[in-house]
Structure 1
Amino acid sequence: MVKPFQRLLLNRMLRRKRLSLWKLLVPLILILILFKFDVHFGNYFHVETESVLFFSAVRQFVGSKNTYTTLDLSDDLEHDYGNDNFGDENEVDKECSIPKLKHTVEIKEHHKPGDQVGCRRVKPLNGSCSFAEKIFKRKEPLTCSHQQSFQICSIKEQSDRYDVHCNISICAKTVSLGTMDPHTGTLIWSSFYDVKKLEHKISDMSVNPITIKGFENYGFVFLVCEKKDYGSNMDANMYDHYLYDTSNASQLLILPPARQQAKQTTSSDAFNLNFIFIDSVSRHHFFRSLPKTVKVLESMNAKYNLNLSRNKKDPTPLVLDFELVQSLKSRTFESLQALFSGYVNPYEKAFGVLAYPPQPLKIESLFQPLKKAGYQTLWLEDLCYSWEWGLPKDLKFHNESLTAREIWNKIKLALQKAGIDSLGMTYAHCQILEANGVNDHFHGPDNVCYNGRHQHNYSLEYLKYYQTEMIHRGQPFVTFFETNVGHEDTGTRIQTLDTDLEKYLHFLISQTNTLTVMFSDHGNTYGNFVENSLEGRIEIFHPFMFMLIPQRVENQIGKSEMNALIENQHRLCSSLDLHHTILSLPILNSKNYMKNVAMEIPAANISEFNKQFNVSSYGLLRPVWMGRTCDVVPLIMPNLCICDGYEVAMKNDSYHLILAQYAEGILNNKIQRQQGGSGMGLHNCQKLQVSQVQNVRQSRLSDGSLSVKMDLVINQMGKKEVLFVALKVPLNTAKPLQLVKFERITPYSQYSKCANKTVNLQLCVCDLTNHEQVRNSSSVTQSAFLMDVDQKLIRSGSGLECIYLMKKSNENGFRFDVLNMCSNTIKGKVIVYVKNIVLSTLYMPVEFRLMSGEIKFLVAGVRRNQGKKIQVQIKLDYTLFN
């Protein structure tokens, strides 16, 4: 069968006038070879079915004087290349359901005439659940049984005190106690030969703070001793080393906050706030990975419904399952910024992944008002306070150039501003992570253990200690616990949380005056499921959120507010709604609330900017408009809407290939500009070559423009890389094509070993096997362009042949690049004349300056109106410098 580009080549040859015999025979022989071997022009852009993209290079013979050429491409662009697709994922398998809790509490919704539900969750593709099961299913979650567990000391809670008991029979001689230095934040060590003195020291920390006035309990101590099998020759200066030595017995002992007497207060109705934040876990992945946790949530609602029907009072909380939570961005910072401060701006340029935010996370917007209302605040997270992620980045106190004492002072100031009273045992996670051989656990290990226990087990133990003690004191509290157990490549480590989280939820049943919000910010952003499944991509933007509301808290919130919360379980919402919900709770809005005087809840302020997002000043305490869609949710691109029908899945046709080519050109220009120097110079980060387009989704914006999102697949250096891009195509206005945002889906931190330091790491693909700089492999040799389909020769006195104008085109548009293979720098400009085309720029001419060996994307255009003919002419003008 004759391919479209083969027909085009033949037609072009037949149209040429006054061809000499040899000029005709050579291309005819080439055509016969193409017919025989079914060759695709795929060196520059490869697709996995028939070629729908047409490649040409126009070779110019130039001298030192100004020259130009004009090409008319209208006939080429009107040619029908067919509608072949590639990269289409069509696995046929069983139908996949959308998970939800059983036994949820519902109310009859009152709809107005003409009301329509604006958002229903995108139906998962058939087979995606089978694919997920294949990737994530384990017979049993990983345990810490591979580690030997030592218990040197233990704490047992009594009704009015904590008892400390130690057994040092496993130790050769001395026991070393590691505590936090309150001046530097480092561990200081002391040795104990006598078990009673050791017990008394630990007891002083957790039971009798009066005897050691001024000592701050950091929520943990480390205990280390050399096992009897190895003898005793510990050097007092090597305790930190011995903490990870397998010849030693080491234990992390969690300490409860120092026991204090209960306060005499009238604020018994001031309920507590408890946030459980599980980073990078989608709603679907929560249900597939945490079956024990799901079961206990469902059992709570089953018991709640039973008690409700019997009009029986019971401490079991009501569990609300918010089914349609839309992630604002596939990154934690923006989601938490919206939660704490209500600030989100989808139009501003986001800071880089490895950069620091321009402003710290404004935790104080929520915590400081709570502190003024009499609350104690606790922040727990499982990252190292002296490393670059987590609070050190969010509050901008990380600085490797400072001493430990200087960093410690910065931490204290940052926490004070944020309104955080305590980090509890957070400081211990530096040692836990170091014992696992990592600074953070975003890319492994598959299981994070210390002394035979999971990392999160320690955090949840402290959280229970803290909440129990605050309730004992009669002290209202707000706790925020963040775990990154789900933030890793495999997607299976989250399963290790299930048993401990199930036990903690059972503990919460006894917390009759605590409102718990358990939520995530987004789904996993990398890994096999995300890279190879459209459903995995959608799950990135569909986090989970549950509220656990005891009856006592229900009564304080109010009946109409509770009805709104129940109704909003099925409405589209985001962390911005949650922000206004928290700020509208009665604990923050009644000046006389502590005196138990009922008052109308005032509305939280809505900024003028946020009014465009149709968010209620009462958040989810008022019914969300049932017609709400992603139009009024502040999505930070690139992003996918979870609502069915908002974005239409498209086949990968020639229209989208042109857009992919435009995006590739823009990104390659960024790489070249950031690397600097000559195109023939020494560069590690290669020019991107898109080989496939996948997961194309399209929606119509309010201004009539098209929003197009797609995955660009890049196969270079023996690896498959995926970039997610969002583009805007204005159809009704005189505006240019726009690459709104891009995001690397596949992991890329490993390329830091070979990347040029000046290049955005998200854009870099380089040779991991050779760290020495190499010639840029994207610089194309002259011989690569001998198969020109269209060319015009301009002779010069010197007969120089080294400037190439390269064209990729199909019936829906084009892209032009220029390549300088001369030994000199060239400066030039291009003017494009079009009809029925949306161009990548409104400014003509497009000027360029190219050093020897450089290739640069100039301009691209895509068809504006599918029913009308398109016309394109291009004029090139340049100067050659000596």
Structure 2
Amino acid sequence: MGIIKRRTPPGPRFTFKCICLLTALFSGSALIFIVSRSNNTLFLISEDYEDLYENQDYNEEYEPENTSTIHTEGCRIPFMNTVEESVRELIPLNYPNDMEPCKEKETGKDFKDKKDLPYNVLILGIDSVSRLNFHRTMPKTAAYMKDLEAVELHGYNKIGDNTFPNLIAVLLGKKDTELEDTCLPNTRAFFDNCPFIWEKFQRAGFSTALAEDNASMGMFDFVKRGFVGYPTDYYFHTFIHQAEHHAGTNKDNHAFLCMNEKFFFKILLDYVEDLATTLKNKLFGFFWEITMSHGRLNYPMVMDDSYTNFFIKMHDSGYLNETIIFFMSDHGMRWGAFRQTRQGYLEDRLPFVFVLFPPSFREKYNLAYTNLKLNSRRLTTPFDIHSTLLDLVTLDNIENERIDSRSNESYSNHRNISLFLPVPRNRTCKTADIDDHWCACHSRVAASRESVEARESAEFVVSHLNNLLKEYPQCSKLKVAEVMSVTELVLSGSEYTKWRELSVVVRTSPGGGVFEATVGRGAGRWSLAGAVSRLNFYGDQSHCVPHYQLRLYCYCS
């Protein structure tokens, strides 16, 4: 049992108390779990971090003093040199000093007996964490990434709104809108026919695993049909689904944080460790944490020690000597008061990514590794992660001679570029197929909220939302209640001579939804540059709509 206490200055307050019983037994590929239910539960006392911003003027641009920029000919990605100082005014964080929510015995697991051929490939994800918020809330893990000489992608830009489009690009190399023509013809279809990257690894002789620490909010299951069969050799969904139903405690933001006395994210990390201990074959694994990070800006700090210790054990056991790890997120915080600031706007678009390579890989595939380090400060996307994974299936394509040959080919305008090849310095969001709405490269200047143009752009956005909802009469017709902010994107290039783009934030009624959209105007007409983002929580307002995307917009009558 342990308690986390927060001290002044004021900020979000956490109190965790873990009790109750649950035993999970792993034996080879068989999983047996015994659940003992009790009246004892885990309690969370918290205050929403939105209270921190009660008096914030969301129309005011936030420009931190200690900033720098990734300079390329085509794109400039802003980033912070000193994260802690640059955000102290904006996010009054207070790290807990006594973090012992659940004490557990060391398992003494040893990876040294594995005789795999090189290399295991793992994707370890933490949902909804920007690069800067990772450094703020998980500083110990960030420091250990540096100790491990992990390559951090400073210019990694998301390509869609939420988890689904960004991870579909990683796992399939496609936009989610392209799935209709390949494997997902309608909203009632299952994902079994989609050619996910793990199938290529499986055909190459790898064992495969897919695990998320939440079943109802998983990327394939939230208002979607999921899989009929088992997509991978090891599939954690059934266990998590039953654990949530029978032993889930402390529900927060639609997710159970604990399985009785144990955090779900810890169960996920233990599962990764169990697979690494048990399997004698090469492993491709996709493991994604959702419960702690999805809806709260500061909750990832609770995971800092656990992830640090996880990587320390993996390193000390020797497992990292035969494993490549993509440690990453899908996007930053997408809603809440922080998201409505200029800082939040950027962080939403710039998730964290670290790539860890064994020393033997760096030596043998030194040209590929050198290129990846070069690309750490260039514009990169989830599509590039997919192409990089393809190169890791057999490793033939990343031998030095092959990399040298491929580097001389014409690929600069390709959407999907392996990070083992030099990404062009002059790459732009347009060539990377990032909609202007998601592009962090563009500078912005404030515009009047009172202008005719501002009102027209807001009305166009709301009209677009109503058009999307027209087949759902149970949704109320939305109206513009307030134009909250308008900024103009600074665009360069001959194609923008007679073209302007505005980023508009509008509050609608009924329901009070806050939406952000990028709209363009040319030849007297408005058009949308990407999807429309929702910036505040919608709770159960859209319970009457089955479509996952339209739930962002609908207000049920």
TM-score band, normalised by shorter chain: 0.7 to 0.9
Tell me: CA distance 1:144–1:123, structure 2 relative to 1, closer, same or farther (3 Å): closer
Tell me: CA distance 1:648–1:563, structure 2 relative to 1, closer, same or farther (3 Å): same
Tell me: CA distance 1:159–1:294, structure 2 relative to 1, closer, same or farther (3 Å): closer
Match of 1:120 among 66, 70, 76: 76
The CA distance in 1 between the partners of 2:468 and 2:110, in whole Å, is: 65
1:516 maps to: 325
The CA distance in 2 between the partners of 1:582 and 1:282, in whole Å, is: 22
The CA distance in 1 between the partners of 2:546 and 2:240, in whole Å, is: 35
The CA distance in 2 between the partners of 1:411 and 1:396, in whole Å, is: 12
2:60 maps to: 89
Tell me: CA distance 1:458–1:691, structure 2 relative to 1, closer, same or farther (3 Å): same
The CA distance in 1 between the partners of 2:521 and 2:445, in whole Å, is: 16
Q: 1:218-297 maps to which residues of 2 (within 5 A)? A: 269-297=117-145
The CA distance in 2 between the partners of 1:458 and 1:501, in whole Å, is: 12
Match of 1:534 among 338, 342, 350: 342
Residue 186 of structure 2 corresponds to residue 396 of structure 1: no
Q: 1:681-830 maps to which residues of 2 (within 5 A)? A: 685-700=476-491, 703-704=495-496, 706=499, 708-714=501-507, 716=509, 720-731=512-523, 736-740=525-529, 741-752=531-542, 760-765=550-555
Equivalent AA in structure 2 for residue 290 of structure 1: M
The CA distance in 2 between the partners of 1:662 and 1:750, in whole Å, is: 26
1:507 maps to: 313
Match of 2:154 among 323, 328, 336: 323
Report the CA distance between 1:343 and its aligned residue: 1.5
Q: Could you say which structure has the larger radius of gyration?
A: 1
Tell me: CA distance 1:480–1:397, structure 2 relative to 1, closer, same or farther (3 Å): closer
Residue 104 of structure 2 corresponds to residue 133 of structure 1: no
Tell me: CA distance 1:449–1:702, structure 2 relative to 1, closer, same or farther (3 Å): farther
The CA distance in 2 between the partners of 1:332 and 1:620, in whole Å, is: 21
Task: Report the secondary structure of 1:750's partner residue.
Answer: coil
Equivalent AA in structure 1 for residue 134 of structure 2: F
Report the CA distance between 1:600 and its aligned residue: 3.9
Task: Report the secondary structure of 2:77's partner residue.
Answer: coil
The CA distance in 1 between the partners of 2:503 and 2:95, in whole Å, is: 32
Task: Report the secondary structure of 1:383's partner residue.
Answer: coil
Task: Report the secondary structure of 1:659's partner residue.
Answer: helix
Native 8 Å contact 1:337 1:361 kept in 2: no
1:468 maps to: 277
Q: 1:31-430 maps to which residues of 2 (within 5 A)? A: 88-90=59-61, 95-97=65-67, 117-122=73-78, 129-134=87-92, 136-140=93-97, 144=101, 269-300=117-148, 318-344=149-175, 356=187, 360=191, 364-384=195-215, 387=216, 389-392=218-221, 396-397=225-226, 410-412=228-230, 415=231, 420-424=232-236, 427-428=239-240, 430=242
The CA distance in 1 between the partners of 2:202 and 2:545, in whole Å, is: 46
Native 8 Å contact 1:564 1:621 kept in 2: yes
Equivalent AA in structure 1 for residue 359 of structure 2: Q
Tell me: CA distance 1:321–1:758, structure 2 relative to 1, closer, same or farther (3 Å): closer
Task: Report the secondary structure of 1:367's partner residue.
Answer: helix
The CA distance in 1 between the partners of 2:144 and 2:548, in whole Å, is: 50
Task: Report the secondary structure of 2:335's partner residue.
Answer: coil
Tell me: CA distance 1:368–1:554, structure 2 relative to 1, closer, same or farther (3 Å): same
Deviations along 1:424-474, whole A, 9 cap, x unmatched?
586145314653458x865456xx12343221112212211211233xx3x
Tell me: CA distance 1:706–1:463, structure 2 relative to 1, closer, same or farther (3 Å): same
Native 8 Å contact 2:211 2:235 kept in 1: yes
Native 8 Å contact 2:122 2:285 kept in 1: yes
Residue 433 of structure 2 corresponds to residue 634 of structure 1: yes
1:491 maps to: 297
2:445 maps to: 649
The CA distance in 2 between the partners of 1:369 and 1:484, in whole Å, is: 26
Tell me: CA distance 1:299–1:433, structure 2 relative to 1, closer, same or farther (3 Å): farther
Native 8 Å contact 2:62 2:342 kept in 1: no
Report the CA distance between 1:749 and its aligned residue: 3.4
The CA distance in 2 between the partners of 1:292 and 1:378, in whole Å, is: 27
Native 8 Å contact 2:212 2:289 kept in 1: yes
The CA distance in 2 between the partners of 1:454 and 1:758, in whole Å, is: 27
Equivalent AA in structure 1 for residue 219 of structure 2: G
Native 8 Å contact 2:383 2:415 kept in 1: no
What is the count of residue pairs matched by the alignment? 484
Tell me: CA distance 1:127–1:561, structure 2 relative to 1, closer, same or farther (3 Å): closer
The CA distance in 1 between the partners of 2:517 and 2:446, in whole Å, is: 15
Task: Report the secondary structure of 2:501's partner residue.
Answer: strand
Task: Report the secondary structure of 2:439's partner residue.
Answer: coil
Deviations along 1:370-425, whole A, 9 cap, x unmatched?
222221111221122xx474344698346xxxxxxxxxxx233xx2xxxx111258
Task: Report the secondary structure of 1:411's partner residue.
Answer: coil
Native 8 Å contact 1:283 1:544 kept in 2: yes
The CA distance in 1 between the partners of 2:516 and 2:61, in whole Å, is: 20
Match of 2:420 among 617, 621, 627: 621
Tell me: CA distance 1:481–1:631, structure 2 relative to 1, closer, same or farther (3 Å): same
Equivalent AA in structure 2 for residue 571 of structure 1: R
Q: Mean alpha-carbon deviation: is it higher for 571-580 or for 704-713?
A: 704-713
Q: Give the TM-score taking structure 2 as reference length.
A: 0.74
Task: Report the secondary structure of 2:234's partner residue.
Answer: coil
The CA distance in 2 between the partners of 1:127 and 1:696, in whole Å, is: 26
Report the CA distance between 1:483 and its aligned residue: 0.6
Task: Report the secondary structure of 2:168's partner residue.
Answer: helix
Report the CA distance between 1:544 and its aligned residue: 1.1
Task: Report the secondary structure of 1:479's partner residue.
Answer: strand
The CA distance in 2 between the partners of 1:758 and 1:373, in whole Å, is: 34
Report the CA distance between 1:494 and its aligned residue: 1.5
Tell me: CA distance 1:130–1:721, structure 2 relative to 1, closer, same or farther (3 Å): farther
Residue 352 of structure 2 corresponds to residue 564 of structure 1: no
Report the CA distance between 1:686 and its aligned residue: 4.9
Native 8 Å contact 2:200 2:393 kept in 1: no
Residue 457 of structure 2 corresponds to residue 659 of structure 1: yes
Task: Report the secondary structure of 1:481's partner residue.
Answer: strand
What 5-or-longer segments of structure 1 have no aligned partner?
A: 1-85, 101-114, 162-260, 301-317, 399-409, 677-682, 767-772, 774-882
1:553 maps to: 361
Report the CA distance between 1:99 and its aligned residue: 11
Task: Report the secondary structure of 1:630's partner residue.
Answer: coil
The CA distance in 2 between the partners of 1:633 and 1:578, in whole Å, is: 13
Tell me: CA distance 1:372–1:756, structure 2 relative to 1, closer, same or farther (3 Å): closer
Task: Report the secondary structure of 1:286's partner residue.
Answer: helix
Residue 286 of structure 2 corresponds to residue 480 of structure 1: yes
Identity of aligned residues (%): 19
The CA distance in 1 between the partners of 2:357 and 2:548, in whole Å, is: 50
1:454 maps to: 263
The CA distance in 1 between the partners of 2:499 and 2:302, in whole Å, is: 43
Tell me: CA distance 1:551–1:559, structure 2 relative to 1, closer, same or farther (3 Å): same
Tell me: CA distance 1:358–1:325, structure 2 relative to 1, closer, same or farther (3 Å): farther
Deviations along 1:481-512, whole A, 9 cap, x unmatched?
11113543331221221111001111232221
The CA distance in 1 between the partners of 2:554 and 2:392, in whole Å, is: 47
Native 8 Å contact 2:164 2:219 kept in 1: no
Q: 1:534-613 maps to which residues of 2 (within 5 A)? A: 534-556=342-364, 558-585=365-392, 587-589=394-396, 600=402, 612-613=413-414
Native 8 Å contact 2:67 2:78 kept in 1: no
The CA distance in 2 between the partners of 1:498 and 1:601, in whole Å, is: 37
Native 8 Å contact 2:375 2:419 kept in 1: yes
